[in-house]
Amino acid sequence: MADATTKPTPLLTPTQDDDGAPFWTYAARGELRIQACAACDELRFPPRPCCPHCRSFDSTWRKMSGRGRIWSYVFPHPPLLPAYAEQAPYNAVIVELADAPRIRLVGNLVAAPDADLNSVAPERLRIGAKVQVVFADVGGTVVPRWLLERP
Ligand code: ZN
């Protein structure tokens, strides 16, 4: 069991199962890709085996521009795990993708790809702010994070 004071592994969405694994494989290459139905072309997130629109089991992974806007955000409050408490106040954002406004990803707004979770001052966040995806190795997994287009 991990020491509670060590840097935490991020909670991953999508999960790293058979359906979600391609998301993380592309993320490790620095690509934000979203699962799309190969039959009707609808995007879907989180990844799953069957298209909810046409029930096809065929899918592809479409590359996104990586641009989006902050749809919502929070600042977690105590009690927090010790490794997170050290970085508070930090944000958790929901980003709506510019290429696919119905697709929203949870992540963190940071000042640079490898910056700490608290690297953006809370007063800098606002709903609708344009953001750009970046990727960083966090606890051994490359995860998408978000930078303000106009810092
Ligand atoms: Zn479909």
CA 98 / ligand 1 centre spacing (Å): 21
Asked if residue 71 lies in contact with residue 96, where contact means CB atoms within 8 angstroms, the answer is yes
Rounded to the nearest angstrom, the distance between the alpha carbon of 16 and the centre of ligand 1 is 22
Q: What is the pLDDT of residues 46-66, one digit of tens each?
A: 999 999 999 999 999 999 999
Q: Which residues contact 114 (CB under 8 A, 6 or more apart)?
A: 136
CA 91 to ligand 1 centroid distance, Å = 34
Ligand 1 mean position, distance from CA 99 (Å)? 18
> All domains of the chain, ordered by start, with CATH?
14-63 (no CATH), 65-151 (2.40.50.840)
First to last CA, the chain: 38
CA–centroid distance, 81 to ligand 1, in Å, is 41
For the entire predicted model, the pTM comes to 0.89
54-108 pLDDT, tens digit per residue, is 999 999 999 999 999 999 999 998 899 888 898 899 999 999 999 999 999 999 9
Amino acid identity, position 150: R
Helix (H) or strand (E) holding 73: strand 67-74
